[in-house]
Amino acid sequence: MSHPQPDPFRDVRELIRSRDRAALATALPAGEGTAPWPYASLVLVAVDHDLSPLLLLSDLAEHTRAIARDPRVSLLFDGTGGLAQPLTGPRVTLLGRAVKTHDERLERRFLRHHPDAEMYAGFRDFNVYRVSLERTHLVGGFGKIQWIEPGELLAVPPLPDLAESEEGIVSHMNDDHSDAVQLYATALLRQKGEDWAMTGIDREGIDLRQAGETARLTFDTPLQTGSEARGALVGLVQLARKR
């Protein structure tokens, strides 16, 4: 009997999906006849089903002005927090092009992950940007360095039907099964506190948030269809009650 090949980049995808902020690097125009300067800033980020980073940016921000002139950006996702020797931990840099989007599904996905952004998301000078992924650079620790092409990183492609039904699934879980969401956080992830909410679901796991804290719970195996989501969520409840 054949066994599925291990996915060498699942941990990379999980690192990216589990972060709610990143360092954004853009090319800041300097002066006439002068080469642009690299400019780094902190941004809130959500990640779509296909791993495209989503940003909510003000037109007044320096990085947004830079993107208007040159859409090439990079985003650093830091997985080294809490390590005694941070340079032994993983970090991932995504390279791509940031383009303004008016896709309401993407905006809603961002706002579910960052509910406080609702306060200013409707301002005329704020827009959602989608970063199309072109290359990925992984530093997994000392000597663990490699470039990853999009086709390699996205070995598990997104499920369009799950992306379309995600908002309804999340609302249903938070409105009708908040006790289950709490179990996911406390029993399976050993998180503290109450009032955890689900913010997203993709074929590899679910995202949770409580105030400023975030957590991610991965499925043992990726979903094969969007219709499998319900069974996976029920299975996690049953597992949690055994803990």
CA distance 79 to 92: 8
Looking at the fold, whether 177 and 97 belong to one and the same domain comes out as: no
The runs of H, that is alpha helices, within 97-137 are 104-113, 118-121
Mean pLDDT of the chain: 94
Is 102 among the domain residues? yes
Question: Is 70 exceeded by the pLDDT of residue 36?
Answer: yes
Question: Is 80 exceeded by the pLDDT of residue 24?
Answer: yes
CATH of the domain at 79: 2.30.110.10
CA distance 140 to 146: 9
Looking at the fold, whether 46 and 71 belong to one and the same domain comes out as: yes
Question: Is 80 exceeded by the pLDDT of residue 3?
Answer: no
Which of 125, 153, 181 is the endpoint of a domain?
153
* pTM, to two decimals: 0.94
pLDDT tens figures, 48-82: 999 999 999 999 999 999 999 999 999 999 999 99
State the total domains in the chain. 2
**DSSP sequence for 34-59:** SPPEEEEEEEE-EE-TTS-EEEEEET
Give the pLDDT of residue 241: 92
pLDDT tens figures, 127-141: 999 999 999 999 998
Give the pLDDT of residue 5: 61
